[in-house]
Structure 1
Amino acid sequence: MTLRTIIAWSLLALTGIVLAGTGARLLPQARRAALVLRAAEAPPALADLRLKDVLSSERVAAEIDAALAAEDDELAQSFIDLADGRGISVSADQRERLATLRSSTAYFSARAFAAGAMTGEADSAAGLAGTLAADVTGVGDIRDLVREAPLCARGDPACDRVVVGLATVGLATTATTWIGGLGLAARGGVTITKVARKMHRLSEPLTAGLTRMVRACVDPAAVEALLQAGRRMNIDGLRAAAVAAIRPTEVGALRDLGRNVYQLYGITGARGVLQALSLARSPVEVVRIERLAARFGSKTRATLKVLDRAALVLGAEISALVRAVLGGIAWCIGVALFCRRLGLMVGRVLWPRRPPADRSLEATRVAISLSAATPRPILSQRPVTSVTDGRGAQPIGAEASGSADDERERGVVAGGPSADARCAGSRPPDV
């Protein structure tokens, strides 16, 4: 074995060791990255994949304790449901503390309902129920317009044009809630969105999108008349101005948002929908959270608490995921090239090359084979009847006889054998 062969085999062995070492780390990462990228447009699948990496019994226990300390029984129950679905054990003490907390909330629920109806702000199911009851009758919207009108009139920065626009839409559709307009679900969603805005629970990007929706479906000039009626406490004038301010053809986007928000409220509860609106940055992301809630149900709040926005979008992680996938592809190409090289070297060992033959000998063999394969020309076999010499044309027979006589004469004179004798000597013997 030559030195060159030894070096080639050593480099090949080193390459195999490197590929084996890097593959154990790259392949799992590439596989997970490919699954996450594939689930980018499916929030339930994306959240399910990411929960496997971050959810543990210690994390669940800590989150349940924090929810119980904050008297958020809905969030505590959501974590318990999530732990049960993932096979994570929850202590009996935490379950008992949750049951005790729920049994002591009857009085607080009644008080929260009354506060929600009067102030329009709520962070519990009972308080939000009071707010919805007030807004469905129109009382809540009138209360908000009367409150905001003086602030807007004197140009106070505290004037919230988004709340004014949502209250205008709600008041204009109160009479048509049961027979058309936004519909009951969308009407309730608009109220919940208004509550989230007043409590500063809307994300800034979603607030910007909501502002554009309100400007599209509410006439700014008519809103000024609405605010003047609010300053005068003219209830009938408020209703008439609200109806005049609405652009019915532009309410579609706000109707869809309200319907999605109300469906979220039905699945996750009051605190759950406020949590979702604080995470979503656009109406499209509200739809994504709704799809997540339809799959996870009561576990939605715990999932959003653990994953935050990672349950909805890939975010800045997308570049790392793409790099992981490309690394896995590069590793597979390297393995393919390694196998090809290994096959060539093994083949050379099993079937070594023959030494090259002498070029001159090979050329001679080729020339012989070509000459043997070349056909020779066939001469004509026509009989000759006469020959021509200095004496003129003679018959072939006479020429032959004359030649024979001359030959004999020359033979006799010279003492040598005659032509007949030479011919006789050259003929094969008779058998």
Structure 2
Amino acid sequence: MGRRALLPWAGLALAAGLLAGTGAELLPRAHLAWRLLRAAEDPPALARLRLDPVATPERVAGEIDAALAAQDDSLAQSFLELADARGIPVDATRRTQVAALQQVAPLRTARAFAEGALTGQADSGVGLAGAFAADLTGLGDLRDLAREGGHLVRDEPYDSVLLGLASVGLAATAATYAGGLGAVVRGGATLLKTAHRSGRLSRPLAASLGRLARESVDPAAMRSMAVAAGRFDLVAARTAARNGIRTGAVTELTALGGRAYALQTRLGTRGVFQVLSLARSPAEVGRAVRLAEGMGPATRAVLKLLDRAALVIGAVLMELVRTVWLALGWCWGLALFCRRLGFLIGRLIWPKPRRGRINAARSLPIAAVASA
């Protein structure tokens, strides 16, 4: 085999090295990117894929210690649930500390309930129960309407979110008494109002909530509610709330409240506040509900480890798509390589006749005719 005959093989060897070198790094990334893209609309599957590099024993142990220091027993328990589900070892000392924290949590019950009922602020299920009890009677909503409605009547800056949610809450209270139909709406409004008051909403979600609150209540009716609340006339305020609610516009607001209420039943008060601080839109709150349905008690730990990456693919979407396209280009290059390799192997097995031999073979019939 001459030097010229070796040139195609040398080029093929260079291409093979290039394909092997790039494929070793590109193909695993492309496989993960493809799985992430397929899981884009499945929050539990997306979270499981993204947990692998971050849910290490060291990280889990550190997060449990941080939750214990913050006296967040539900978050600490959530990390224990995640560790057990993924086979991550947790030493007995930490498990004992989590159990001890859960034992002392009820001692703060009375104070938290009273604070929730009087101020509407809550950081626990008990505190939220106090806020809910006040709102269920209408007194909590009346308090908020009197406070912010006074600013509205005097044409001063006011909190449209609190006014809107208090209005929806008053309208839902009657339905709750009538037969429990408004319990979810009532509870959702209280959750959103408490989260807003304590600064637990992300800025984009707070902006969306403000828009929904303004669109849900007629401005004239809101002024009537504010005047009635200033007189502490609960009946008049509730009547104005029922008459002032815009049925079509309030649907999206009550849907958001319903999702928040569903999260509270699964994750507790701190869990739903954790979600509301991460989600940037009502749709992302809905994705958090699906995450909680799939991950169960480990949901809070997943959110702590992954942040918004547990809910959405985020800014890396274009990078994932680019990686998949690069992998497709690599496969095309591999196909061309295989085609060229097959061609060269065929040449080895069935070598191409030399031009001199072809000319000699063509001249044989002519010579035979001439001799005849």
Larger radius of gyration: 1
- Residue in 1 aligned with 2:328? 329
- Residue in 1 aligned with 2:48? 48
Give matches, 1:12-411, under 5 Å: 12-157=12-157, 159-179=158-178, 183-356=182-355, 362=362, 365=365
Once residues 65 and 297 of structure 2 are traced to their aligned partners in structure 1, the CA distance between those partners, rounded to angstroms, is 18
Once residues 10 and 359 of structure 2 are traced to their aligned partners in structure 1, the CA distance between those partners, rounded to angstroms, is 36
Q: Which amino acid in the other structure matches residue 351 of structure 1?
A: W
Once residues 278 and 353 of structure 1 are traced to their aligned partners in structure 2, the CA distance between those partners, rounded to angstroms, is 73
Aligned partners of 2:172 and 2:185 also within 8 Å: no
Once residues 304 and 148 of structure 1 are traced to their aligned partners in structure 2, the CA distance between those partners, rounded to angstroms, is 34
Aligned partners of 2:64 and 2:79 also within 8 Å: yes
Once residues 358 and 76 of structure 2 are traced to their aligned partners in structure 1, the CA distance between those partners, rounded to angstroms, is 90
Once residues 17 and 242 of structure 1 are traced to their aligned partners in structure 2, the CA distance between those partners, rounded to angstroms, is 74
TM-score by length of 1: 0.81
Deviation at 1:101, TM superposition (A): 1.4
SS in 2 for 1:104: helix
For residues 204-229 of structure 1, give each alpha carbon's deviation from its aligned partner in whole angstroms, at most 9, with x where no partner exists.
Answer: 22222222222232101111122122
Query: After the TM superposition, which of the residue ranges 197-206 and 111-120 deviates more from structure 2?
Result: 197-206
Aligned partners of 1:15 and 1:338 also within 8 Å: yes
SS in 1 for 2:48: helix
Q: 1:281 to 1:182 in 2, by over 3 A?
A: farther
Structure with the higher fraction of residues in helix conformation: 2
Once residues 150 and 217 of structure 2 are traced to their aligned partners in structure 1, the CA distance between those partners, rounded to angstroms, is 19
Once residues 203 and 367 of structure 2 are traced to their aligned partners in structure 1, the CA distance between those partners, rounded to angstroms, is 92
Aligned partners of 2:173 and 2:182 also within 8 Å: no
Once residues 146 and 361 of structure 1 are traced to their aligned partners in structure 2, the CA distance between those partners, rounded to angstroms, is 110
Unaligned runs of 5+ in 2: none
Query: After the TM superposition, which of the residue ranges 192-201 and 175-184 deviates more from structure 2?
Result: 175-184
Unaligned runs of 5+ in 1: 370-431
Q: Which amino acid in the other structure matches residue 310 of structure 1?
A: A
Once residues 172 and 13 of structure 1 are traced to their aligned partners in structure 2, the CA distance between those partners, rounded to angstroms, is 77
Deviation at 1:156, TM superposition (A): 4.0
TM-score by length of 2: 0.93
Query: After the TM superposition, which of the residue ranges 353-362 and 40-49 deviates more from structure 2?
Result: 353-362
- Residue in 2 aligned with 1:419? none
Q: 1:280 to 1:358 in 2, by over 3 A?
A: closer
Q: Which amino acid in the other structure matches residue 7 of structure 1?
A: L
For residues 132-173 of structure 1, give each alpha carbon's deviation from its aligned partner in whole angstroms, at most 9, with x where no partner exists.
Answer: 11111211111111121223334444x211100110111122
Once residues 84 and 191 of structure 1 are traced to their aligned partners in structure 2, the CA distance between those partners, rounded to angstroms, is 34
Q: Which amino acid in the other structure matches residue 168 of structure 1?
A: S
Q: 1:361 to 1:268 in 2, by over 3 A?
A: closer
Q: Which has the higher contact order (CA 8 A, sep 6+)?
A: 2
Aligned partners of 1:173 and 1:181 also within 8 Å: no
Aligned partners of 1:120 and 1:195 also within 8 Å: yes
Identity of aligned residues (%): 52
Q: 1:49 to 1:306 in 2, by over 3 A?
A: same
Once residues 362 and 98 of structure 2 are traced to their aligned partners in structure 1, the CA distance between those partners, rounded to angstroms, is 98
Q: Which amino acid in the other structure matches residue 198 of structure 1?
A: R
Query: After the TM superposition, which of the residue ranges 260-269 and 10-19 deviates more from structure 2?
Result: 10-19
Once residues 49 and 362 of structure 2 are traced to their aligned partners in structure 1, the CA distance between those partners, rounded to angstroms, is 70
